[in-house]
Chains A and B, each alone.
Chain A
């Protein structure tokens, strides 16, 4: 009778061991996707969605969302549990707004990487807070030379800095043979910087430069335009010819629109050539008949970061247009690229920590070739060093106004070459 008892005991022990082994094996060989928890990383976006730059801000936000949607679709397709989500804040285009947006984003979401803000002044507003809290800031189009700071948390793999633009603008004006320049510029850190660089180069070449600084966000700039008109009239009365006089506008958005409307009825300002910065390539200006016809009449010539044609760039514009029903605002490609750089950096780092990401972003950026089509190489300040600018003139084709390329500036050689005037 002892045999059956031993056999039963062994059978029970065998069953228990078998169940244990089976359970262990099931854990070891189960499919990861069936139970792995989704890991979500937040990409913050701070942009002006109200105020004078709202059209750019909206387009930049859309570009980041597009990049994130594309990344998530690819991650999903390979069965990765990682996802990215976007948190957007409107900073109203002001430094205080940018700081407030970052504070609230950090407190609510512990955000570690932010695409934006748009202008250099906004970036300066939040820079100290970002440094103190180790939040990586990737502004797509903040170009002020005052942001060239080593070892901070602001990295600028997007648009090249104003030192290139100032040089491109000055050399273009020189190549047109201008001897007298009236330079109207916005009183912010970026445009003051560009004015200083441009006027410095022009003065070195014997050009007379009169600078007129204006305060942003005023309702009317008739006195600024009248002052520029008076300066042009003085140059003319002192014997200068119209072809030797130029007006430069270092401003944009609603402020530029107001000045152009006033200038369009001015006797002197309509007779000389105008130059400007890249932000004047703005859909809201070009779609305004009175403003655009004036811009074309004075042969407005701008220096704009070159959008080299690349499959990535073409795909970006196509995808954006499909998603949002209209093409992106100029320079939105930088926001799109920055979003990809941020996400790839998080994937490479395998962690969502600003202190780690700030070290990885330059590595990823230097090996990334995106929609901007020029490649990226960051200097010791974390700023883009590859700078190509196209020299563009506004022309009317049929019933529409468009900027056409008439030359190129190469930041590597610091040379402008014009194909036409």
Chain B
């Protein structure tokens, strides 16, 4: 009766892992420089294309492809910051201007990839990576890519969790809290922000790399994921890492296990799957505009304030 559930959970976990990889960098960007970077999705595309190119020369060499994707996407993220966002932030441009700039950067990157892919005959291609089933759980194949994605997602989450306790991590938190004060305290804000961009772009690139064996790599690959990424981040409260992990899990399970449940028991067609991220955004914005990740810390802060008030 519940045979479908185990297989469905496997798919949900894989998709959650991909969502986490591609969206955690956006959370970082929002937390540190407070920029809703709409060009973030393009780093996913760049990561996928890097994997595509690397595997043409080194078929099935996923470790090398992952490292190359991280580096190239991270490098392009820094270049974008230096050439587009940094000058605007220096001029104290409003958030609206920065959002518009990020749209422009996204378009620029997408069409640059489009032109290069067109010249290279790679407008629509597939990396040379074999997807191999390692074992089956209730008929659902647990593939090499599923397992590696899960491993990388856990490693990224653990790394970012402990990263905040490192010197550079503390610097980022200080910048996030008050950049001017952080600078006055002697923190090298420029270096911390550069590291942040490498991590944000690089992790998105790794996400694109892990996604590429299952999808056909096209210049619109990342763009097609943009709304889902924002849904995850909004669900997580925009700047909370725990919230983003929670948001990724909810999105992965909603698009798979929930959809399977609705299809099996209520005959809801799978064509409604794309409704889920948008419904989640609306529900979260209406019920918990601060998102679930942040609301936890907010409620904790409120509790502490209440305790302090009562003790006076």
Q: Report the minimum CB–CB distance from B167 to chain A (whole Å).
A: 37
Which A residues from 122 to 166 make CB contacts under 8 A with B? none
Contact B225 A253 (CB under 8 A): no
- Contact residue among B133, B141, B220, B255 (Cβ-Cβ distance under 8 Å from A223): B255
> Could you say which of A217, A218, A224, A284 contacts B124, with CB atoms under 8 Å apart?
A284
Contact with B along A218-248 (1 / 0, CB 8 A): 1110111011011001000000000000000
Contact (Cβ within 8 A) B139 A268: yes
Measured CA separation A223–B9 after assembly (Å): 11
Question: Is B256's CB under 8 angstroms from A51's CB?
Answer: no
Whether A254 contacts B216 by the Cβ 8 Å rule is yes
CA distance A265 to B202 in the complex (A): 29
Given A52-B218, A223-B255, A288-B126, A215 contacting B133 (CB threshold 8 A): no
Q: In the complex, A364→B60 CA distance in Å?
A: 54
Given A265-B143, A284-B124; A220-B214 close (CB under 8 Å): yes
B34 to A: closest C-beta gap in Å: 28
B269 at the interface (CB under 8 A from A): yes
Given A227-B270, A290-B131, also A219-B225 (CB < 8 A): yes
Tell whether, in the assembled complex, residue B273 and residue A215 are in contact, meaning their CB atoms are under 8 Å apart. yes
Cβ distance B11 to chain A, nearest Cβ, rounded Å: 5
Give the total number of A-B pairs whose CB atoms are below 8 A apart: 110
Contact B131 A222 (CB under 8 A): no
Complex Cα–Cα for A6 and B286 (A): 108
> B126 — nearest CB in chain A belongs to which residue?
A288
Contact check: which of A52, A58, A212 meets B270 at CB < 8 Å? Answer: A212
Question: Given the complex, which residues of A lie within 8 Å of B219, measured CB to CB?
Answer: 50
The answer for the CA separation of A233 and B4 in the assembled complex, in Å, is: 11
Q: Give every chain A residue within 8 A of B7 (Cβ-Cβ).
A: 226, 230
- A219 and B255 contact, CB distance less than 8 A: no
Asked if A267 and B141 sit within 8 Å, CB to CB, the answer is yes
Using Cβ atoms and an 8 Å threshold, which residues of chain B touch A212?
270
Residue from the set A187, A217, A267 with the largest chain B CB neighbour count within 10 Å: A267
Q: Is the interface of B mostly helix, strand, loop or mixed?
A: mixed
As a 0/1 sequence over residues 135 to 159 of chain B, the CB contacts with chain A under 8 angstroms (1 = contact) are 0100111010000000000000000
Q: How many residues of A contact B (CB 8 A)?
A: 39
**A47 CB → nearest B CB, Å:** 13
Q: Restricting to A38-61, which residues have a CB under 8 Å from any CB of B?
A: 50-52, 54-55, 58
Q: Which of B11, B124, B274 interacts with A222 by CB under 8 Å? A: B11
Choose from A217, A226, A289, A290 the contact partner of B260 (Cβ within 8 Å): A226
B123 CB-CB contact with A under 8 Å: yes
Given A284-B216, A288-B126, check contact A220 B15 (CB 8 Å): yes
**Binary flags per residue of B1-15, CB closer than 8 Å to A gives 1, else 0:** 001100110010011
Given A52-B124, A267-B136, A226 and B8 contact (CB-CB distance below 8 Å): yes
* B128 contacts A289, C-beta separation under 8 Å: yes
Contacts of A284 in B (CB 8 A): 124-126, 216
Whether the Cβ atoms of B216 and A219 lie closer than 8 Å is no
* Cross-chain contact A213 with B271 (CB below 8 angstroms): yes
Tell me if A295 counts as interface (CB < 8 A to partner B): no
Q: Cβ of A261 < 8 Å from any Cβ of B?
A: yes
How far does the alpha carbon of A217 sit from the alpha carbon of B221 in the complex, in Å? 10
A262 at the interface (CB under 8 A from B): yes
Complex formed: what's the CA distance from A218 to B278 in Å? 14
| Contact status B131-A254, CB under 8 Å | no
**At the interface, yes or no: B130 with Cβ under 8 Å from chain A?**
yes
Which of these, B11, B114, B215, B271, contacts A254 with CB under 8 Å?
B215
CB distance from A23 to the nearest CB of B (A): 57
Complex CA distance for A217 and B216, rounded to whole angstroms: 11
Bound state CA distance, A257 and B213, in angstroms?
10
Mask, B218-231, CB within 8 Å of A = 1, is 11110011001000
The A58-99 residues at the B interface (CB cut-off 8 A) are: 58
Q: In this complex, what residue of B is CB-closest to A288?
A: B126
Q: Which residue of A lies closest to B130 (CB)?
A: A290
Which B residues, 269 to 288, have Cβ-Cβ distances below 8 Å to chain A? 269-271, 273-274
Tell me whether B21 is interfacial, beta carbon within 8 Å.
no
In angstroms, how far is the closest chain B Cβ from the Cβ of A36?
A: 39
Give Cα distance in the complex from A85 to B259, angstroms: 50
Name the distance in Å between B153's Cβ and chain A's nearest Cβ.
16
Closest to B14 in A: A222
Cross-interface CB contact of A267 among B139, B213, B215, cutoff 8 Å: B139
Which of B15, B132, B218 has the most A CB atoms < 10 Å from its CB? B218
A341 at the interface (CB under 8 A from B): no
Residue B20 lies at the interface, judged by CB distance under 8 Å to chain A: no
Give A232's nearest chain B residue, CB to CB: B139
Closest B residue to A51 by CB, please name it. Answer: B220
Whether A264 lies near B256 (C-beta < 8 A) is no
Are A219 and B218 in contact, with the CB atoms below 8 A?
no
Given contacts A223-B255, A253-B216, 16 further A-B contacts (CB under 8 A): A50-B218, A50-B219, A52-B216, A187-B271, A213-B270, A218-B224, A223-B256, A223-B273, A226-B7, A230-B3, A230-B4, A258-B214, A265-B133, A267-B141, A284-B126, A288-B126
| A/B interface sample: 15 pairs, CB < 8 A | A52-B218, A54-B218, A222-B256, A223-B259, A223-B270, A253-B124, A257-B126, A258-B214, A264-B131, A265-B133, A265-B141, A265-B143, A284-B216, A289-B128, A290-B126
Instruction: Name the 4 nearest CB pairs between A and B, nearest first.
Output: A254-B216, A265-B141, A288-B126, A265-B133
Residues of B whose CB lies within 8 Å of any CB of A are 3-4, 7-8, 11, 14-15, 114, 123-126, 128, 130-133, 136, 139-141, 143, 211, 213-216, 218-221, 224-225, 228, 255-256, 259-260, 263, 269-271, 273-274
